[in-house]
Amino acid sequence: MRLIFLLIVMSSLSPSMVNAEEINVEIFDVETEQVVKTVSKTDDMQHEVERYIESIDDIFKGIDPVPEDGFMIKIPLDPVVKIDNEWLQSEVDTVIIIKPENEKPYLLLFDEENRPWVFLFETPIDELLSLVDYP
């Protein structure tokens, strides 16, 4: 039930638009179940997410991708990013990076038919955390 709730919350949060050119990145605290920070998306953030997508090396095999603690970063992609790997061939317009406390991060994304996919990847997220100034 918790997974469904958090997926609905994170997927339904529309990219906040301050004006026609500005798209916001939202950071969601898993424990408080709230958006704790919003920052304007930059090209550097988009580039980092594209690196994560390129470094996907496996599909998440756990039962529940939503951790008990940690945070999620929702990043709208503009332009959309094409994914073509052994599991998925689709265009993606939003990526949610899930970072459980004391564990490696993974990616939640939705394909063109709005089905969720969760992937493991190898690229460290330190640069993105610096760009969004979190935590």
Task: Name the average pLDDT for the chain.
Answer: 88
What's the pLDDT score for residue 15?
44
What's the pLDDT score for residue 18?
42
In percent, the amount of the chain with pLDDT more than 70 equals 84
Query: Is residue 78 within 8 Å of 23, Cβ to Cβ?
Result: yes
Is the pLDDT at 83 greater than 70? The verdict is: yes
What's the pLDDT score for residue 17?
44
Region 16-27 average pLDDT: 72
- How confident is residue 65, by pLDDT bands cut at 50, 70 and 90? very high
Tokens of 61: 């095999």
Region 67-88 average pLDDT: 96
Please tell me the pTM assigned to this model. 0.86
Q: Could you tell me whether strands 89-99 and 106-110 are parallel, antiparallel, or unpaired per DSSP bridges?
A: antiparallel
Domains assigned to the chain: 2-132 (3.30.1490)
